[in-house]
Amino acid sequence: MSSFLARTIRTLSIGQFVFLLSMAAMILAVVVVLLMSTFVERRAIGDLAQQEALQTSELIFQSLYTAMRKGWTKDEIGEIVDRLNKSQPGTDIRVFRGTPVIAQYGDIPGEAPVRDTDPLVTQAFRTAEPVLETGEDHIRYVYPVLVRDECQTCHEAAIGQVNGVVDISYPITDLKVSVGFVIKSVIAYFTLILTTLFLALYFKLRVFVAQPISRFAGVIEEIISHTDLNRRVGPGTHLREVNSLSQHFNRLLGTIQEYQDKLEHFSQRDPLTNLYNRRKFEDFLRMEVARGQRHGHPFSLIMMDLDDFKSINDTYGHPVGDLALKELATVLDRRMRRTDIIARLGGDEFAVLMPQTTAEQGSIAAENLRKAVAETSLRLPVGATRVGASFGLVTFPDNGATVEKLSIAMDVAMYKAKRLGKNRVATLDSGEEDAAMAVFQKGRMLKDALADDAIEPVFQVICTSADTRPVALEVLARVRTPEGLKTAGEFIEAADELGLTRDIDERIFEKGLAALAAQRDPDLKMFFNLSGRSLAAAEWMHEVPARARAAGVAAERIVFEITEREALPHFDKLVKIIDAMRGHGVRFALDDFGSGFSSFVYLKFLDVDYIKIEGSLIRNLRHDPRDRVMVRHIHQMAKEFGLSTIAEFVEDAETLVLLQEMGIDHVQGWHLGAPGPLDGLKSYT
């Protein structure tokens, strides 16, 4: 029952709650008034009856006293009492003699049993105080007659003794009617006033509070149902607080609407250039593809990437670079048609969607745009400058019939323009399209992986050859996909071609450094593979010691692996970087040693600490004596240079024994442990 009442109360509207509260308060007030009126009535009747009984008793006593002074007998006095009873119907007057009178004149027959058994009479004789008893329709007053001076003329009694008791019982109906009428009249008027008051209160609360709040809730429901922030709550009441609530709510709606408009704008527009952003451009592209498939209309897409724009940011700073991008956005907007969709895809990449435009028309528009960009002098706070751009042009449906294929084709065409020498417009030939598509599909997978933090490190243990004691871990990059982890061999070429290797290196270095800091062995080293782009990034390389200290890792525990292929394009710069890094304690390893003719020459110019012997020489060590000779001589030469050797691809016990016999310093391979997450390598670390 209590839970039902609780649910009912929780579901009441404000009007119902106010009505029930008013009714409950009124009923409570009426009950209190009735109880108080009953008490007041009984008290008033008692007080009035007591006064009237006292006066009546005095009159009766004085009448009897006057008769007794004249010498009347007790029979005559009894007759007087009978006459008084008859003169007032319903009245019962009795007189009882006290001890002094009984001693002097004797007792009246039949009086003693009543006098001795009636509690009120006995109490009046004993206490010499009047006794009042009030019933529903009568009152009884027992009045003791005390001896006074004039009584002593006839009675031999001391002053203050009880000479007798006058017992009066009479109806109080008339008195009750009179007092009750007054009380009931007061109750009726009070109830009327109370009812009027509560009705007025209920009306005020319902009209000025409940109804405005109900309308307020209705507006909120409409806003939620229709997502219409243009609705507003009207005043509708004279209560200042409710009007204030409505005003503040309307202001809140205005603020939310303003923010929604801004969010909607920024969800579609690039905040720097005010061009459409990538997401909105892709929406337009989807609609145009659907329209082209339905009506057979061709359209063209241009992707533009500024050439060497990084030099502006590096030379003048990013604020100046932002001004240059805004100037270029103005050029694009001025040169293209009003029906063309222009977007900034991110960084210094822009795209243009040209509806109902053939490949020939698109080629003319792209070339005109290239010339306009190249001829534009960008006005900057530090002076004027010019920039070039590489343009990729693709057409629907020749280069793709879906959004995904067209997006990849744009990237492919733009990168083709970069490879051909920049500042030009490139299109796709049918022969190169499929191969380039495969590369860019992997590139998109890598970009998504970088954005979703799906680039993960795995670790392979490096052990001492003599006792296979783990001394280092090599960090290898993997990409987490719904199909599982992809190895570096499945994406590294695409990453290199699309310029993503440095981003992958930085992500793996950051996570590997955190893993190294968590290891309990302070001497454990970690080997990192670096791409050519990372090796050439001198600024990033010089930050490595500071980043290691910030992670709580000594620089001596970090080893960077470099290969002949990566070292050759940046050889002079790499020599300086290695010398600087070794000064901070960072170590280097020459990877895949023996795979190229110039490997031995690098030992003369590159100051490294480890030589990792080419894996193909180790894999065939058991079966090819020539490989054993080469490995033995590589190890002996490394010792002459004071370097440590590491044999890769150790996949069986027999190969391990041969390497131990040669004195190879360290071994690595599936026989010692497969690459895997760090949790699976706890037995080694």
With CA atoms as reference, report the closest residue to 552 among 513, 511, 587: 513
What average pLDDT does the chain have? 80
Residue 175 three-state SS:
helix
The whole-number pLDDT of residue 486 equals 87
Sheet order of strands, 341-346 included: 341-346, 349-354, 299-306, 389-396, 425-426
Instruction: Tell me: pLDDT of 347 over 90.
Output: no
**What CA–CA distance (Å, rounded) separates 477 from 488?**
6
Closest of 422, 450, 444 to residue 305, by C-alpha: 422
Q: pLDDT tens digit string along 381-396?
A: 666 778 889 999 999 9
Of the candidates 523, 627, 618, 614, the residue with the CA atom closest to the CA atom of residue 563: 614
Give 10's pLDDT tier (boundaries 50, 70, 90). very low
Distant-in-sequence, close-in-space partners of 19: CB < 8 Å, separation ≥ 6: 202, 206
| 3-state secondary structure (DSSP) of residue 339 | coil
Positive or negative, the Cα torsion across 468, 470, 475, 478? positive
Q: Which residues pair with 213 in a beta bridge?
A: none
What is the pLDDT at residue 562? 87
DSSP calls for 608-627: -SEEEE-HHHHHTTTT-HHH
Most confident of 206-210, 226-230, 308-312: 308-312
pLDDT score of 682:
47
DSSP string, 586-613: -EEEEEEETSSTTHHHHHHH---SEEEE
**186-206 average pLDDT score:** 70
Q: How far apart, in whole angstroms, are the C-alpha atoms of residue 373 and residue 327?
A: 10
For 79-98, the pLDDT digits (tens) are 777 777 776 677 778 888 78
pTM, full prediction: 0.50
* pLDDT tier at 613, thresholds 50, 70, 90: very high
Q: Report pLDDT for 8.
A: 54
pLDDT at 241: 63
Average pLDDT over residues 388-408: 89
pLDDT for 35 beyond 70: no
Q: Based on DSSP, count helices (H) and strands (E) in the chain, helices before strands.
A: 26, 20
- For residues 662, 668, 673, 679, the Cα torsion angle rounded to the nearest 10 degrees is 140
Q: Which of 544, 254, 297 is nearest to 396 (CA)?
A: 297
**pLDDT-derived band at 500, boundaries 50, 70, 90:** confident
For residue range 551-600, list pLDDT tens digits in order. Answer: 999 999 999 998 866 666 667 778 888 888 999 999 999 888 876 555 67
pLDDT over 80 at 160, yes or no: no
- Distance, in Å, from the CA atom of 463 to the CA atom of 651, rounded to the nearest integer, reads 13
Q: Is 454 exposed, middle or buried (0-12, 13-18, 19+ CB in 10 A)?
A: middle
* Confidence band, pLDDT 50/70/90 cuts, at residue 41: low
Instruction: State mean pLDDT over 184-190.
Output: 66
| Half-sphere CA count of 447, side-chain side, radius 13 A | 11
Exposed, middle or buried, 288 (CB in 10 Å: 0-12/13-18/19+)? buried
CB 141 within 8 A of CB 130: yes
Q: Average pLDDT, stretch 252-281? A: 79
The pLDDT tens digits of the residues spanning 225-264 come to 766 666 666 665 555 666 677 777 777 777 777 777 677 6
Rounded Cα distance, 74 and 79, in Å = 9
CA nearest to 342, candidates 310, 318, 373: 373
DSSP element (H, E) containing 474 = strand 470-481
SS3 track for 483-509: CEEECHHHCHHHHHHCCCHHHHHHHHH
Least confident of 239-253, 282-296, 338-352, 584-598: 239-253
Residue pLDDT, tens place only, 431-474: 665 666 677 677 778 888 888 889 999 999 999 999 999 999 99
Q: Tell me how crowded residue 132 is: count the other CB atoms within 10 A of its CB.
A: 16
Q: Is the pLDDT of residue 683 over 50?
A: no
Mean pLDDT of 343-370: 92
Share of the chain above pLDDT 90, in %: 27
The SS3 of residue 54 is: helix
How far lies 666's CA from each of 121, 472, 644, 652, in Å? 128, 10, 8, 15
* DSSP, residue by residue, 106-138: -PPTTHHHHHHH-HHHHHHHHH-S-EEEE-SSE
* pLDDT 10s digits, 93-148: 888 878 777 777 777 777 888 788 888 888 888 888 888 887 767 778 888 888 77
Confidence of residue 219 (pLDDT cuts 50, 70, 90): confident
Cis amide leading into 298 (omega within 30): no
Q: What is the mean pLDDT of residues 302-312?
A: 86
Which pLDDT score, from 0 to 100, does residue 173 have?
Answer: 61
Label residue 685 by pLDDT band (50, 70, 90): very low
Q: For residue range 63-76, what is the model confidence (pLDDT) as tens digits?
A: 666 665 655 566 66
Task: Note the pLDDT of residue 593.
Answer: 85
The C-alpha angle 401, 403, 408, rounded to 5 degrees, equals 95
